[in-house]
Amino acid sequence: MKIFEFKNNNFDLIRLLAAIQVAFVHGYEHFGIHQNQWLISVLSMFPGVPIFFVVSGFLISASLERSSSIKSYIKNRFLRIYPALWGCFIISVLTIFIFFKPQCSVTEFLKWVIAQVTIGQFYNPDFLRGYGVGVVNGSLWTIPVELQFYIILPFIYIVFNGIKWNNVFITLFIIVLVIVNQIFVGLLSADQSMLLKLFGVTVLPYLYMFFFGVLLQRNLGFVVKFLENKALYVFAAYLLSALIFYFLGLKFQGNYINPISALILSFLTISLAYTRVDLFGRILRGNDISYGVYIYHMVVVNAFVQVAMFSPEINLVTMLVITIILALLSWKLIEKPALSLKKYSIKGNINSPSAS
């Protein structure tokens, strides 16, 4: 019998690749690179944001289950998000005043500061519209979404524990979430109202992606039997589905991929997390710089767009290098010390038949 070790995985590497995907696509877009668009099309088949949401559902549900109390759960989530986020905000302010020097009142500035250091990272005031791409750090719209998921997850567990995770209820819940997502995606092309934009930074349009991760974490027997060390097979299935959806005219790229693609992508994500851990799990040597790459890359992009010194291609490469350096500094100086304050407990391993 083989032991499935929950904590031995490739999630750090997967999150880093997802963050680099987001940074690369944003750099390509904002630096105005038009060559080799096929590369962006391929990368968009593996969108970083949905991958982050699935991984969050998988890992945060496990964190909640093993937390000794809600207080411990909240503390761990706070330490994971805010110290690095506040460090990034300080760097953002410094770059803005170095390269732009905004004109605004103290009240306007404080309003923006409060939003950025709490749960309103999507807020971008008018006095910053002239800086860089027009939005200081547009990628941070996912932070409020993540935080909302952290908040509602305990309540979801209360409800589902009450009905003993009834499969019929789970199915109905997912159907409702998918309908919400599809209505939102359908309205996006025709409606740019403020109300719809605000709805787009709530967790509701993306909750089904998180929930895929939650369900996979709660069904580790399925993971062991069908996903562990089977990434090549799942990858082939994902490519085949993309081909089918291409001919059907359904969206299979970007943050708003169709729900079936999102489901198969969630299978692929978790399968990659538990495939050849002995090989891929050692690459980063415990340096989880994915969060830093994600939150810092648009800070660098905006500075480069504002200065406009180099060619688009040089800007892209230099942006990625600087972003990785900032992410490493964030990990060493902020994130790792903060995470050392978290309280951990080991999720139990399960006996499983060999899965090769």
Give the domain ranges of the chain. Answer: 2-352
Task: Specify the pTM.
Answer: 0.94
Q: What does the pLDDT read at residue 272?
A: 98
pLDDT at 234 exceeding the cut of 80: yes
If pLDDT is split at 50, 70 and 90, which confidence band does 22 have?
A: very high
Q: What does the pLDDT read at residue 355?
A: 36
pLDDT at 249 exceeding the cut of 50: yes
Rounded to the nearest 5°, which phi and psi values hold at 243? -65, -45
Given a contact cutoff of 8 angstroms between Cβ atoms, the answer to whether 66 and 345 are in contact is yes
If pLDDT is split at 50, 70 and 90, which confidence band does 190 have?
A: confident
Amino acid (one-letter) located at 320: L
DSSP state of 226: I
pLDDT at 287 exceeding the cut of 70: yes
Q: What does the pLDDT read at residue 156?
A: 97
pLDDT at 1 exceeding the cut of 70: no
pLDDT at 189 exceeding the cut of 90: no
CA angle 255, 258, 261 (to 5 degrees): 95
If pLDDT is split at 50, 70 and 90, which confidence band does 192 have?
A: confident
Q: What does the pLDDT read at residue 352?
A: 43
The residues, any chain, with a CB within 8 Å of residue 202's CB and separated by 6 or more, are 144, 145, 148
CA angle 196, 199, 201 (to 5 degrees): 120
Q: What is the pLDDT of residues 216-225, one digit of tens each?
A: 999 999 999 9
pLDDT at 171 exceeding the cut of 70: yes
Q: How far apart are the first and last CA of the chain?
A: 13
Paired tokens of 240: 């085949």
Contacts 24+ apart (CB under 8 A), 316-319: 316/24, 316/27, 316/28, 316/31, 316/33, 319/23, 319/27, 319/31
